[in-house]
Chains A and B, each alone.
Chain A
């Protein structure tokens, strides 16, 4: 079945530091890949997505590239801000009939001023 494995947290960084949150997946077919973010007290929001191999999703300074050869979709940001503190979830949606989202366990990021 489908599964998503993401880097365990929590991750604590200083402002302006470089961020990487690793995500690898197992899926049949050609899934779409997503990063969701949950800010304190809010629901999950779609941060970025990629629908095919070598696509790069980007938003708010965050990027992730769909790497089929390594089955990965690592999230990166060159310079984090305090406002980026949140829980980040990697997810996939299979190309099969189910098309339900499969999430990773989430990574708590805290950015200190």
Chain B
């Protein structure tokens, strides 16, 4: 069974540009989560999808971040326009049920210059 995959693994962009991160959860997992780790600090929750619906987006930092999960399969996280403080590693995770084990992807390392 394939695990959670994320694309790209690395992205380097300039301030003001747009970047879209993609997450493919494990097949059949209705719950999908986005997290990020900035500057080697703690991993912070961004948002939680149940199928295509946003269950909890309390961790989204501001309106430059837009997450979608059309069709309830893969998800995208768009940052527009990117700022320097957005640099970090963005993790995606999925689970079959919100109370069950979460499987994490390898992360996308975003660098904003």
Residue of chain B at shortest CB distance from A32: B99
Which residue of chain B has its CB nearest to the CB of A97?
A: B56
Q: How many residues of B are in contact with the other chain, CB < 8 A?
A: 26
Judge whether A105 and B40 touch: CB under 8 Å: yes
Asked whether, in the complex, the Cβ of B101 is within 8 Å of the Cβ of A42, the reply is: no
Q: Known contacts A43-B4, A46-B101, A105-B40: does B91 contact A100 (CB below 8 Å)? A: no
B104 touches A102 (CB 8 A): no
Contact partner of A43 (CB less than 8 A), chosen from B3, B45, B48, is: B3
Is A103 an interface position by the 8 A CB rule? yes
Are B45 and A100 in contact (CB-based, < 8 A)?
yes
Establish whether residues A42 and B106, one from each chain, have CB atoms under 8 Å apart when the complex forms: yes
Q: For residue A3, give the distance in angstroms from its CB to the closest CB of chain B.
A: 9
| Interface members, chain B 25-58 (any A CB < 8 Å) | 33, 35, 37, 40-45, 48, 56, 58
Beyond the given A46-B101, A101-B35, could you list 7 further A-B residue pairs with CB under 8 A, ordered by the A residue number?
A: A4-B42, A42-B106, A43-B3, A43-B103, A43-B105, A101-B33, A103-B43
Which residues of A does B touch, CB under 8 Å?
Answer: 4, 36, 41-46, 89, 91, 98-106
